[in-house]
A and B are shown apart, each in its own frame.
Chain A
Protein backbone atom coordinates (compact mmCIF):
# COMPACT_ATOMS: atom_id res chain seq x y z
CA UNK A 1 0.00 0.00 0.00
CA UNK A 2 2.89 2.25 0.58
CA UNK A 3 3.95 1.78 -2.99
CA UNK A 4 0.56 2.94 -4.14
CA UNK A 5 1.21 6.36 -2.71
CA UNK A 6 4.52 6.62 -4.47
CA UNK A 7 3.82 4.94 -7.74
CA UNK A 8 0.07 4.93 -8.31
CA UNK A 9 0.33 4.13 -12.01
CA UNK A 10 2.42 1.02 -11.52
CA UNK A 11 -0.21 -0.47 -9.23
CA UNK A 12 -2.46 -1.43 -12.12
CA UNK A 13 0.30 -3.25 -13.93
CA UNK A 14 1.28 -5.13 -10.85
CA UNK A 15 -2.25 -6.20 -10.19
CA UNK A 16 -2.48 -7.46 -13.73
CA UNK A 17 0.67 -9.44 -13.13
CA UNK A 18 -0.84 -10.91 -10.00
CA UNK A 19 -3.82 -12.15 -11.93
CA UNK A 20 -1.55 -14.01 -14.28
CA UNK A 21 0.57 -15.77 -11.74
CA UNK A 22 -1.85 -16.50 -8.99
CA UNK A 23 -5.11 -16.56 -10.85
CA UNK A 24 -7.38 -19.63 -10.56
CA UNK A 25 -5.93 -20.95 -13.81
CA UNK A 26 -2.45 -21.41 -12.35
CA UNK A 27 -2.16 -24.80 -10.77
CA UNK A 28 1.50 -25.15 -10.07
CA UNK A 29 2.08 -24.39 -6.40
CA UNK A 30 5.46 -22.85 -7.14
CA UNK A 31 6.55 -20.92 -4.07
CA UNK A 32 6.94 -17.68 -5.95
CA UNK A 33 7.14 -14.34 -4.29
CA UNK A 34 3.98 -12.35 -4.51
CA UNK A 35 4.17 -9.51 -7.00
CA UNK A 36 3.98 -7.04 -4.19
CA UNK A 37 7.11 -8.54 -2.67
CA UNK A 38 8.78 -8.59 -6.04
CA UNK A 39 7.84 -4.99 -6.67
CA UNK A 40 9.13 -4.18 -3.22
CA UNK A 41 12.46 -5.82 -4.11
CA UNK A 42 12.75 -3.83 -7.32
CA UNK A 43 11.92 -0.65 -5.49
CA UNK A 44 14.52 -1.36 -2.84
CA UNK A 45 17.10 -1.96 -5.53
CA UNK A 46 16.33 1.43 -7.05
CA UNK A 47 17.94 3.02 -4.01
CA UNK A 48 21.14 1.22 -4.86
CA UNK A 49 21.11 1.72 -8.63
CA UNK A 50 22.79 5.17 -8.79
CA UNK A 51 25.68 3.93 -6.67
CA UNK A 52 26.07 0.75 -8.68
CA UNK A 53 26.05 2.72 -11.93
CA UNK A 54 28.61 5.19 -10.60
CA UNK A 55 30.92 2.49 -9.24
CA UNK A 56 30.69 0.63 -12.54
CA UNK A 57 31.53 3.71 -14.60
CA UNK A 58 34.29 5.10 -12.42
CA UNK A 59 35.92 1.95 -11.05
CA UNK A 60 34.74 -1.02 -13.08
CA UNK A 61 35.04 0.56 -16.50
CA UNK A 62 38.54 2.02 -15.92
CA UNK A 63 39.88 -1.33 -14.78
CA UNK A 64 38.47 -3.16 -17.80
CA UNK A 65 39.46 -0.37 -20.19
CA UNK A 66 42.96 -0.36 -18.76
CA UNK A 67 43.33 -4.08 -19.36
CA UNK A 68 42.15 -3.63 -22.96
CA UNK A 69 44.45 -0.65 -23.53
CA UNK A 70 47.43 -2.53 -22.20
CA UNK A 71 47.16 -4.92 -25.16
CA UNK A 72 46.87 -2.09 -27.70
CA UNK A 73 49.22 0.37 -29.27
CA UNK A 74 47.41 3.30 -27.79
CA UNK A 75 49.15 6.59 -28.51
CA UNK A 76 48.35 10.18 -29.43
CA UNK A 77 47.51 9.17 -32.96
CA UNK A 78 44.78 6.93 -31.58
CA UNK A 79 42.90 10.06 -30.60
CA UNK A 80 42.92 11.29 -34.19
CA UNK A 81 42.56 8.08 -36.17
CA UNK A 82 40.64 6.10 -33.61
CA UNK A 83 42.89 3.16 -34.37
CA UNK A 84 44.59 1.21 -31.64
CA UNK A 85 46.10 -1.94 -33.13
CA UNK A 86 46.32 -5.06 -30.99
CA UNK A 87 49.88 -5.78 -30.01
CA UNK A 88 49.51 -8.67 -27.58
CA UNK A 89 51.94 -8.55 -24.72
CA UNK A 90 54.32 -6.10 -26.40
CA UNK A 91 53.51 -3.31 -23.94
CA UNK A 92 54.14 -5.56 -20.97
CA UNK A 93 57.43 -6.76 -22.46
CA UNK A 94 58.55 -3.19 -23.19
CA UNK A 95 57.60 -1.95 -19.77
CA UNK A 96 58.92 -4.85 -17.72
CA UNK A 97 62.21 -5.14 -19.58
CA UNK A 98 62.97 -1.41 -19.48
CA UNK A 99 65.86 -0.57 -17.22
CA UNK A 100 63.60 1.91 -15.47
CA UNK A 101 61.26 -0.82 -14.27
CA UNK A 102 63.70 -2.37 -11.82
CA UNK A 103 64.52 1.11 -10.50
CA UNK A 104 60.91 2.05 -10.00
CA UNK A 105 60.01 -1.33 -8.53
CA UNK A 106 62.84 -1.04 -6.03
CA UNK A 107 61.86 2.55 -5.23
CA UNK A 108 58.23 1.50 -4.79
CA UNK A 109 59.24 -1.24 -2.35
CA UNK A 110 61.62 1.01 -0.40
CA UNK A 111 59.12 3.88 -0.37
CA UNK A 112 56.32 1.62 0.82
CA UNK A 113 58.27 -0.24 3.49
CA UNK A 114 60.02 2.89 4.76
CA UNK A 115 56.77 4.85 4.95
CA UNK A 116 54.80 2.07 6.60
CA UNK A 117 57.43 1.24 9.21
CA UNK A 118 57.93 4.90 10.11
CA UNK A 119 54.24 5.77 10.23
CA UNK A 120 53.37 2.69 12.21
CA UNK A 121 56.12 2.88 14.83
CA UNK A 122 55.64 6.60 15.49
CA UNK A 123 51.85 6.30 15.26
CA UNK A 124 51.81 3.43 17.76
CA UNK A 125 54.19 5.22 20.13
CA UNK A 126 51.97 8.31 20.09
CA UNK A 127 48.82 6.19 20.45
CA UNK A 128 50.25 4.54 23.55
CA UNK A 129 51.33 7.91 24.89
CA UNK A 130 47.85 9.32 24.44
CA UNK A 131 46.36 6.45 26.47
CA UNK A 132 47.52 8.35 29.54
CA UNK A 133 45.05 10.65 31.14
CA UNK A 134 46.12 14.26 31.10
CA UNK A 135 44.46 17.61 30.54
CA UNK A 136 43.74 18.65 26.94
CA UNK A 137 44.42 15.09 25.71
CA UNK A 138 41.46 15.01 23.33
CA UNK A 139 42.03 18.41 21.79
CA UNK A 140 45.76 17.90 21.26
CA UNK A 141 45.10 14.50 19.70
CA UNK A 142 42.62 15.90 17.24
CA UNK A 143 44.95 18.77 16.27
CA UNK A 144 47.48 16.09 15.31
CA UNK A 145 45.09 15.15 12.50
CA UNK A 146 45.92 18.30 10.57
CA UNK A 147 48.79 16.90 8.45
CA UNK A 148 46.42 14.19 7.27
CA UNK A 149 43.65 16.61 6.29
CA UNK A 150 45.76 19.07 4.32
CA UNK A 151 45.76 18.65 0.54
CA UNK A 152 48.78 16.51 -0.32
CA UNK A 153 50.00 19.02 -2.85
CA UNK A 154 49.99 21.70 -0.15
CA UNK A 155 52.10 19.49 2.10
CA UNK A 156 54.46 18.82 -0.78
CA UNK A 157 54.88 22.52 -1.47
CA UNK A 158 55.55 23.30 2.20
CA UNK A 159 58.08 20.50 2.52
CA UNK A 160 59.78 21.56 -0.70
CA UNK A 161 60.45 24.86 0.98
CA UNK A 162 61.49 23.35 4.33
CA UNK A 163 63.90 20.93 2.64
CA UNK A 164 65.34 23.55 0.30
CA UNK A 165 69.12 23.20 0.13
CA UNK A 166 70.09 26.85 0.52
CA UNK A 167 67.43 28.50 2.63
CA UNK A 168 65.19 25.68 3.81
CA UNK A 169 64.22 25.64 7.46
CA UNK A 170 65.72 22.21 8.13
CA UNK A 171 69.19 23.07 6.86
CA UNK A 172 69.12 26.40 8.65
CA UNK A 173 68.10 24.69 11.88
CA UNK A 174 70.88 22.10 11.54
CA UNK A 175 73.30 24.88 10.61
CA UNK A 176 72.32 26.97 13.64
CA UNK A 177 72.96 23.96 15.85
CA UNK A 178 76.39 23.62 14.26
CA UNK A 179 75.65 20.12 12.98
CA UNK A 180 76.26 20.99 9.35
CA UNK A 181 78.36 23.60 7.57
CA UNK A 182 76.85 23.52 4.10
CA UNK A 183 73.28 22.85 3.12
CA UNK A 184 72.26 19.21 2.58
CA UNK A 185 70.63 18.76 -0.86
CA UNK A 186 67.69 16.78 0.55
CA UNK A 187 65.62 16.73 -2.61
CA UNK A 188 68.28 17.20 -5.26
CA UNK A 189 70.71 14.44 -4.35
CA UNK A 190 70.12 11.01 -5.84
CA UNK A 191 71.11 9.32 -2.60
CA UNK A 192 68.94 11.46 -0.30
CA UNK A 193 65.82 12.27 -2.30
CA UNK A 194 64.06 8.96 -1.63
CA UNK A 195 64.80 9.22 2.09
CA UNK A 196 63.40 12.75 2.14
CA UNK A 197 60.27 11.69 0.27
CA UNK A 198 59.75 8.77 2.67
CA UNK A 199 60.19 11.17 5.59
CA UNK A 200 57.48 13.47 4.28
CA UNK A 201 55.14 10.56 3.66
CA UNK A 202 55.72 9.32 7.21
CA UNK A 203 54.72 12.77 8.48
CA UNK A 204 51.52 12.59 6.46
CA UNK A 205 50.66 9.06 7.59
CA UNK A 206 51.26 9.39 11.34
CA UNK A 207 47.82 10.87 12.15
CA UNK A 208 45.99 8.01 10.43
CA UNK A 209 48.03 5.36 12.24
CA UNK A 210 47.70 7.20 15.53
CA UNK A 211 43.92 7.49 15.27
CA UNK A 212 43.19 3.90 14.30
CA UNK A 213 45.69 2.40 16.75
CA UNK A 214 44.41 4.68 19.51
CA UNK A 215 40.92 3.34 18.86
CA UNK A 216 42.24 -0.21 19.01
CA UNK A 217 44.05 0.41 22.29
CA UNK A 218 40.92 1.91 23.83
CA UNK A 219 39.11 -1.33 23.12
CA UNK A 220 41.41 -3.40 25.32
CA UNK A 221 39.59 -3.81 28.64
CA UNK A 222 41.34 -2.35 31.67
CA UNK A 223 40.59 -5.52 33.60
CA UNK A 224 43.17 -7.36 31.51
CA UNK A 225 45.87 -5.00 32.68
CA UNK A 226 44.63 -5.20 36.26
CA UNK A 227 44.75 -9.00 36.13
CA UNK A 228 48.11 -8.85 34.40
CA UNK A 229 49.64 -6.58 37.00
CA UNK A 230 48.71 -9.10 39.70
CA UNK A 231 50.78 -11.62 37.77
CA UNK A 232 53.64 -9.17 37.52
CA UNK A 233 52.99 -8.12 33.93
CA UNK A 234 53.66 -4.41 33.84
CA UNK A 235 55.45 -2.07 31.48
CA UNK A 236 57.10 -3.87 28.58
CA UNK A 237 55.78 -7.25 29.73
CA UNK A 238 52.23 -5.95 29.72
CA UNK A 239 52.73 -4.57 26.22
CA UNK A 240 54.26 -7.81 24.99
CA UNK A 241 51.70 -10.17 26.50
CA UNK A 242 48.50 -8.11 26.67
CA UNK A 243 48.56 -5.05 24.42
CA UNK A 244 50.19 -6.55 21.33
CA UNK A 245 48.11 -9.75 21.09
CA UNK A 246 44.90 -7.80 21.69
CA UNK A 247 45.88 -5.15 19.15
CA UNK A 248 46.90 -7.62 16.44
CA UNK A 249 43.67 -7.45 14.33
CA UNK A 250 43.75 -3.65 14.26
CA UNK A 251 47.46 -3.73 13.49
CA UNK A 252 46.98 -5.92 10.45
CA UNK A 253 44.20 -3.70 9.13
CA UNK A 254 46.34 -0.58 9.59
CA UNK A 255 49.40 -2.12 7.97
CA UNK A 256 47.67 -3.59 4.95
CA UNK A 257 45.63 -0.46 4.33
CA UNK A 258 48.82 1.55 4.69
CA UNK A 259 50.53 -0.58 2.06
CA UNK A 260 47.62 -0.31 -0.35
CA UNK A 261 47.45 3.48 0.00
CA UNK A 262 51.21 3.96 -0.14
CA UNK A 263 51.56 1.91 -3.31
CA UNK A 264 49.37 4.33 -5.21
CA UNK A 265 50.89 7.56 -3.87
CA UNK A 266 51.46 10.02 -6.67
CA UNK A 267 50.80 13.55 -5.42
CA UNK A 268 53.60 13.67 -2.88
CA UNK A 269 56.31 12.41 -5.21
CA UNK A 270 55.23 14.56 -8.12
CA UNK A 271 55.07 17.60 -5.86
CA UNK A 272 58.38 17.02 -4.08
CA UNK A 273 60.72 15.67 -6.75
CA UNK A 274 58.67 14.82 -9.84
CA UNK A 275 60.40 11.44 -9.78
CA UNK A 276 63.86 12.95 -9.96
CA UNK A 277 66.69 13.55 -9.61
CA UNK A 278 67.72 11.02 -12.26
CA UNK A 279 64.68 8.80 -11.50
CA UNK A 280 65.86 8.24 -7.93
CA UNK A 281 62.31 8.72 -6.61
CA UNK A 282 60.47 7.25 -9.59
CA UNK A 283 57.90 4.65 -8.47
CA UNK A 284 55.63 2.41 -10.50
CA UNK A 285 52.76 4.87 -10.04
CA UNK A 286 54.75 7.92 -11.16
CA UNK A 287 56.31 5.99 -14.02
CA UNK A 288 52.86 4.91 -15.21
CA UNK A 289 51.77 8.55 -15.07
CA UNK A 290 54.82 9.62 -17.09
CA UNK A 291 54.29 7.00 -19.77
CA UNK A 292 50.66 7.97 -20.28
CA UNK A 293 50.63 11.70 -19.74
CA UNK A 294 54.11 12.83 -20.72
CA UNK A 295 55.14 10.37 -23.38
CA UNK A 296 51.56 9.70 -24.48
CA UNK A 297 52.20 5.96 -24.66
CA UNK A 298 48.89 5.11 -23.04
CA UNK A 299 49.17 1.42 -23.78
CA UNK A 300 52.42 1.13 -21.86
CA UNK A 301 51.13 3.35 -19.09
CA UNK A 302 48.11 1.08 -18.79
CA UNK A 303 50.32 -2.02 -18.69
CA UNK A 304 52.40 -0.59 -15.87
CA UNK A 305 49.24 0.53 -14.08
CA UNK A 306 47.99 -3.04 -14.23
CA UNK A 307 51.21 -4.30 -12.68
CA UNK A 308 50.45 -1.92 -9.81
CA UNK A 309 46.87 -3.24 -9.60
CA UNK A 310 48.15 -6.79 -9.32
CA UNK A 311 50.54 -5.86 -6.52
CA UNK A 312 47.69 -4.06 -4.74
CA UNK A 313 45.35 -7.00 -5.23
CA UNK A 314 47.72 -9.30 -3.40
CA UNK A 315 47.45 -6.95 -0.48
CA UNK A 316 43.72 -6.58 -1.00
CA UNK A 317 43.36 -10.28 -0.32
CA UNK A 318 45.46 -9.89 2.79
CA UNK A 319 43.32 -6.91 3.77
CA UNK A 320 40.04 -8.75 3.45
CA UNK A 321 41.35 -11.62 5.51
CA UNK A 322 42.71 -9.22 8.10
CA UNK A 323 39.52 -7.20 8.33
CA UNK A 324 37.41 -10.32 8.60
CA UNK A 325 39.51 -11.33 11.55
CA UNK A 326 39.15 -7.85 13.02
CA UNK A 327 35.38 -8.01 12.70
CA UNK A 328 35.24 -11.49 14.16
CA UNK A 329 37.02 -10.40 17.26
Chain B
Protein backbone atom coordinates (compact mmCIF):
# COMPACT_ATOMS: atom_id res chain seq x y z
CA UNK B 1 0.00 0.00 0.00
CA UNK B 2 2.85 2.29 0.75
CA UNK B 3 4.19 1.51 -2.65
CA UNK B 4 0.88 2.46 -4.16
CA UNK B 5 1.01 5.75 -2.31
CA UNK B 6 4.56 6.50 -3.34
CA UNK B 7 4.06 5.53 -6.91
CA UNK B 8 1.03 7.74 -7.16
CA UNK B 9 2.72 10.79 -5.78
CA UNK B 10 5.75 10.21 -7.95
CA UNK B 11 3.61 9.88 -10.96
CA UNK B 12 1.75 13.05 -10.32
CA UNK B 13 4.94 15.03 -10.56
CA UNK B 14 5.52 13.76 -14.08
CA UNK B 15 3.87 16.27 -16.38
CA UNK B 16 1.24 14.61 -18.48
CA UNK B 17 0.65 15.56 -22.07
CA UNK B 18 -2.64 17.42 -22.13
CA UNK B 19 -4.72 15.97 -24.89
CA UNK B 20 -7.82 17.39 -26.45
CA UNK B 21 -10.51 18.40 -24.02
CA UNK B 22 -12.79 15.39 -23.89
CA UNK B 23 -16.00 16.91 -22.58
CA UNK B 24 -17.88 13.84 -23.82
CA UNK B 25 -16.14 11.73 -21.20
CA UNK B 26 -16.87 14.39 -18.62
CA UNK B 27 -20.56 14.10 -19.43
CA UNK B 28 -20.39 10.33 -19.07
CA UNK B 29 -18.55 10.68 -15.75
CA UNK B 30 -21.19 13.10 -14.50
CA UNK B 31 -23.82 10.55 -15.48
CA UNK B 32 -22.07 7.82 -13.43
CA UNK B 33 -21.70 10.24 -10.55
CA UNK B 34 -25.39 11.12 -10.72
CA UNK B 35 -26.35 7.45 -10.39
CA UNK B 36 -23.92 6.87 -7.54
CA UNK B 37 -24.97 9.98 -5.66
CA UNK B 38 -28.69 9.63 -6.28
CA UNK B 39 -29.26 8.23 -2.76
CA UNK B 40 -27.53 11.28 -1.30
CA UNK B 41 -29.74 13.54 -3.41
CA UNK B 42 -32.78 11.55 -2.37
CA UNK B 43 -31.87 11.91 1.28
CA UNK B 44 -31.70 15.70 0.95
CA UNK B 45 -34.86 15.81 -1.18
CA UNK B 46 -36.86 13.65 1.23
CA UNK B 47 -35.66 15.69 4.19
CA UNK B 48 -37.23 18.78 2.64
CA UNK B 49 -40.65 17.26 2.06
CA UNK B 50 -43.60 18.19 4.25
CA UNK B 51 -44.18 15.93 7.21
CA UNK B 52 -46.09 12.74 6.97
CA UNK B 53 -46.63 12.62 3.23
CA UNK B 54 -45.16 9.20 2.70
CA UNK B 55 -47.43 8.63 -0.27
CA UNK B 56 -45.91 10.80 -2.94
CA UNK B 57 -42.52 12.31 -2.35
CA UNK B 58 -42.00 14.68 -5.25
CA UNK B 59 -38.83 14.21 -7.30
CA UNK B 60 -37.65 17.74 -6.56
CA UNK B 61 -37.94 19.81 -3.40
CA UNK B 62 -39.79 22.59 -5.19
CA UNK B 63 -41.48 23.75 -2.02
CA UNK B 64 -38.88 23.01 0.65
CA UNK B 65 -40.42 22.36 4.03
CA UNK B 66 -38.25 22.41 7.12
CA UNK B 67 -40.55 20.67 9.59
CA UNK B 68 -38.42 17.53 9.23
CA UNK B 69 -35.38 19.49 10.38
CA UNK B 70 -37.34 21.05 13.22
CA UNK B 71 -38.30 17.58 14.48
CA UNK B 72 -34.81 16.24 13.89
CA UNK B 73 -33.14 19.02 15.80
CA UNK B 74 -35.75 18.85 18.51
CA UNK B 75 -35.28 15.14 19.05
CA UNK B 76 -31.68 14.54 18.00
CA UNK B 77 -29.70 17.66 18.91
CA UNK B 78 -28.54 16.04 22.15
CA UNK B 79 -27.50 12.89 20.31
CA UNK B 80 -25.60 14.92 17.73
CA UNK B 81 -23.80 16.66 20.59
CA UNK B 82 -22.97 13.30 22.15
CA UNK B 83 -21.57 12.08 18.82
CA UNK B 84 -19.51 15.24 18.47
CA UNK B 85 -17.98 14.93 21.95
CA UNK B 86 -17.21 11.24 21.44
CA UNK B 87 -15.68 11.84 18.02
CA UNK B 88 -13.49 14.72 19.19
CA UNK B 89 -12.42 12.69 22.20
CA UNK B 90 -11.57 9.77 19.96
CA UNK B 91 -9.48 12.00 17.68
CA UNK B 92 -7.50 13.32 20.64
CA UNK B 93 -6.95 9.86 22.13
CA UNK B 94 -6.11 8.24 18.78
CA UNK B 95 -3.56 10.85 17.78
CA UNK B 96 -1.98 10.88 21.24
CA UNK B 97 -1.49 7.13 21.03
CA UNK B 98 -0.81 6.75 17.31
CA UNK B 99 1.67 9.56 16.64
CA UNK B 100 4.38 8.46 19.11
CA UNK B 101 3.88 4.85 18.04
CA UNK B 102 4.20 5.74 14.38
CA UNK B 103 7.38 7.66 15.17
CA UNK B 104 8.85 4.71 17.04
CA UNK B 105 7.96 2.34 14.20
CA UNK B 106 9.21 4.60 11.43
CA UNK B 107 12.29 6.16 12.92
CA UNK B 108 13.66 4.04 15.75
CA UNK B 109 13.08 0.70 14.09
CA UNK B 110 12.75 -0.73 17.58
CA UNK B 111 12.96 -4.45 18.04
CA UNK B 112 9.51 -5.95 17.88
CA UNK B 113 8.33 -3.31 15.43
CA UNK B 114 7.50 -6.06 12.96
CA UNK B 115 5.38 -7.81 15.55
CA UNK B 116 3.49 -4.60 16.31
CA UNK B 117 2.81 -3.95 12.64
CA UNK B 118 1.69 -7.53 12.17
CA UNK B 119 -0.66 -7.18 15.14
CA UNK B 120 -2.12 -4.01 13.62
CA UNK B 121 -2.85 -5.80 10.36
CA UNK B 122 -4.33 -8.79 12.15
CA UNK B 123 -6.49 -6.49 14.28
CA UNK B 124 -8.29 -5.47 11.11
CA UNK B 125 -9.51 -9.01 10.67
CA UNK B 126 -11.20 -9.15 14.07
CA UNK B 127 -14.95 -8.69 13.67
CA UNK B 128 -16.37 -5.80 15.68
CA UNK B 129 -18.97 -8.07 17.21
CA UNK B 130 -16.24 -10.16 18.84
CA UNK B 131 -14.71 -7.04 20.38
CA UNK B 132 -18.14 -5.79 21.46
CA UNK B 133 -19.08 -9.12 23.01
CA UNK B 134 -16.03 -9.15 25.26
CA UNK B 135 -16.03 -5.41 25.95
CA UNK B 136 -19.64 -5.53 27.11
CA UNK B 137 -18.81 -7.87 29.96
CA UNK B 138 -15.65 -5.96 30.86
CA UNK B 139 -17.42 -2.59 30.67
CA UNK B 140 -20.21 -3.99 32.83
CA UNK B 141 -17.69 -4.82 35.55
CA UNK B 142 -15.83 -1.53 35.20
CA UNK B 143 -18.95 0.63 35.10
CA UNK B 144 -18.06 1.94 31.65
CA UNK B 145 -21.38 1.04 30.01
CA UNK B 146 -23.47 4.08 29.07
CA UNK B 147 -20.52 6.42 29.48
CA UNK B 148 -18.82 8.83 27.14
CA UNK B 149 -15.27 7.79 28.13
CA UNK B 150 -16.28 4.17 27.50
CA UNK B 151 -17.42 4.97 23.99
CA UNK B 152 -14.39 7.18 23.27
CA UNK B 153 -12.10 4.32 24.24
CA UNK B 154 -14.02 1.74 22.21
CA UNK B 155 -14.54 3.92 19.15
CA UNK B 156 -10.82 4.60 18.97
CA UNK B 157 -10.44 0.95 18.02
CA UNK B 158 -11.68 2.01 14.58
CA UNK B 159 -9.14 4.79 14.29
CA UNK B 160 -5.92 3.93 16.12
CA UNK B 161 -4.64 1.12 13.85
CA UNK B 162 -5.43 3.20 10.77
CA UNK B 163 -3.84 6.33 12.25
CA UNK B 164 -0.63 4.44 13.12
CA UNK B 165 -0.30 3.11 9.59
CA UNK B 166 -1.04 6.45 7.89
CA UNK B 167 1.30 8.49 10.07
CA UNK B 168 4.03 5.86 9.93
CA UNK B 169 3.86 5.75 6.13
CA UNK B 170 4.41 9.50 6.13
CA UNK B 171 7.19 9.47 8.72
CA UNK B 172 9.01 6.77 6.76
CA UNK B 173 9.51 9.34 4.06
CA UNK B 174 10.82 11.97 6.45
CA UNK B 175 14.57 12.55 6.17
CA UNK B 176 16.27 11.14 9.26
CA UNK B 177 18.93 13.82 8.95
CA UNK B 178 16.46 16.47 10.10
CA UNK B 179 15.80 14.66 13.34
CA UNK B 180 19.45 13.82 13.85
CA UNK B 181 20.41 17.45 13.32
CA UNK B 182 17.95 18.47 16.00
CA UNK B 183 19.30 15.87 18.34
CA UNK B 184 22.88 16.96 17.77
CA UNK B 185 21.76 20.43 18.73
CA UNK B 186 20.86 18.97 22.10
CA UNK B 187 17.18 18.36 21.70
CA UNK B 188 15.97 15.35 23.67
CA UNK B 189 13.77 12.68 22.21
CA UNK B 190 10.62 14.29 23.48
CA UNK B 191 11.64 17.72 22.30
CA UNK B 192 12.72 16.46 18.87
CA UNK B 193 9.43 14.62 18.57
CA UNK B 194 7.32 17.54 19.74
CA UNK B 195 8.96 20.43 17.95
CA UNK B 196 10.46 18.79 14.85
CA UNK B 197 8.68 15.54 14.01
CA UNK B 198 5.10 16.52 14.77
CA UNK B 199 5.13 19.85 12.91
CA UNK B 200 6.74 18.15 9.91
CA UNK B 201 4.08 15.44 9.98
CA UNK B 202 1.25 17.95 10.07
CA UNK B 203 -0.44 16.68 6.91
CA UNK B 204 -0.50 13.07 7.95
CA UNK B 205 -1.77 14.05 11.39
CA UNK B 206 -4.62 15.99 9.82
CA UNK B 207 -5.46 13.08 7.52
CA UNK B 208 -5.40 10.62 10.40
CA UNK B 209 -7.41 12.99 12.58
CA UNK B 210 -10.10 13.51 9.96
CA UNK B 211 -10.55 9.81 9.39
CA UNK B 212 -10.51 9.03 13.09
CA UNK B 213 -13.26 11.59 13.47
CA UNK B 214 -15.31 10.02 10.69
CA UNK B 215 -14.82 6.50 12.06
CA UNK B 216 -15.97 7.47 15.54
CA UNK B 217 -18.80 9.61 14.18
CA UNK B 218 -20.02 6.68 12.06
CA UNK B 219 -19.65 4.11 14.79
CA UNK B 220 -22.81 2.14 15.25
CA UNK B 221 -21.72 -1.19 16.67
CA UNK B 222 -20.25 0.07 19.95
CA UNK B 223 -23.05 2.60 20.38
CA UNK B 224 -25.51 -0.24 19.98
CA UNK B 225 -23.83 -2.75 22.25
CA UNK B 226 -22.16 -0.64 24.91
CA UNK B 227 -25.16 1.47 25.83
CA UNK B 228 -28.24 0.09 27.52
CA UNK B 229 -30.08 3.27 28.51
CA UNK B 230 -30.80 6.56 26.83
CA UNK B 231 -28.23 8.34 29.00
CA UNK B 232 -25.54 8.38 26.30
CA UNK B 233 -26.87 8.04 22.78
CA UNK B 234 -24.88 8.84 19.63
CA UNK B 235 -26.84 9.99 16.61
CA UNK B 236 -26.23 6.73 14.71
CA UNK B 237 -28.22 4.96 17.38
CA UNK B 238 -30.86 7.68 17.19
CA UNK B 239 -31.29 6.95 13.48
CA UNK B 240 -31.42 3.22 14.14
CA UNK B 241 -34.18 3.76 16.65
CA UNK B 242 -36.12 5.78 14.09
CA UNK B 243 -35.91 3.06 11.45
CA UNK B 244 -36.23 0.20 13.92
CA UNK B 245 -39.98 0.66 14.10
CA UNK B 246 -42.47 1.33 11.36
CA UNK B 247 -41.59 4.72 9.95
CA UNK B 248 -44.38 7.14 9.15
CA UNK B 249 -42.38 10.33 9.20
CA UNK B 250 -39.55 9.89 6.73
CA UNK B 251 -38.80 13.59 6.43
CA UNK B 252 -37.47 13.83 9.98
CA UNK B 253 -35.54 10.56 9.61
CA UNK B 254 -33.95 11.90 6.42
CA UNK B 255 -33.32 15.28 8.05
CA UNK B 256 -31.45 13.50 10.85
CA UNK B 257 -29.56 11.49 8.23
CA UNK B 258 -28.55 14.73 6.48
CA UNK B 259 -27.36 16.22 9.76
CA UNK B 260 -25.38 13.04 10.48
CA UNK B 261 -23.81 13.22 7.00
CA UNK B 262 -22.57 16.78 7.39
CA UNK B 263 -19.09 15.84 8.68
CA UNK B 264 -18.48 13.49 5.75
CA UNK B 265 -19.72 16.01 3.19
CA UNK B 266 -17.85 18.94 4.70
CA UNK B 267 -14.61 16.98 4.92
CA UNK B 268 -14.90 15.70 1.37
CA UNK B 269 -15.38 19.20 0.02
CA UNK B 270 -13.13 21.21 2.32
CA UNK B 271 -10.36 18.71 3.04
CA UNK B 272 -10.27 16.84 -0.24
CA UNK B 273 -6.48 16.67 -0.30
CA UNK B 274 -6.34 14.91 3.05
CA UNK B 275 -9.21 12.58 2.26
CA UNK B 276 -7.51 11.52 -0.96
CA UNK B 277 -4.32 10.77 0.97
CA UNK B 278 -6.29 8.73 3.47
CA UNK B 279 -8.14 6.58 0.97
CA UNK B 280 -4.95 5.48 -0.70
CA UNK B 281 -3.54 4.53 2.65
CA UNK B 282 -6.99 3.11 3.25
CA UNK B 283 -5.93 -0.01 1.40
CA UNK B 284 -4.88 -1.25 4.78
CA UNK B 285 -7.96 0.00 6.60
Contacts and interface: CB of A to CB of B under 8 A. Distances in A.
B133 to A, nearest CB: 5
B37 A143 contact: yes
Interface residues on B, range: 35 or more
Given A292-B133, A326-B3, A257 B283 contact: yes
A151 B218 contact: yes
B157 interface: yes
Given A69-B134, A134-B26, A55 B161 contact: yes
Given A135-B26, A151-B261, A215-B8, A51 B97 contact: yes
A234 B242 CA distance: 53
Nearest to A136: B26
Contacts of B126: 59, 62-63, 309, 312
A195 interface: no
B127 A153 contact: no
A279 B172 CA distance: 48
A271 interface: yes
Interface string A4-48: 011000000000000000000000000000000000010111011
Contacts of A140: 26, 29-30, 33
B26 to A, nearest CB: 5
A315 interface: yes
A219 B7 contact: yes
Interface string A68-81: 01000010001100
A83 B108 CA distance: 46
Contacts, number: 332
B157 to A, nearest CB: 5
A192 interface: no
Given A126-B32, A155-B39, A133 B22 contact: yes
Given A136-B29, A145-B279, A157-B257, A167 B57 contact: yes
A275 interface: no
Contact of A157 (B29, B57, B243): B243
Contact of A50 (B11, B100, B136, B153): B100
Given A58-B157, A59-B119, A264 B129 contact: yes
A250 B103 CA distance: 27
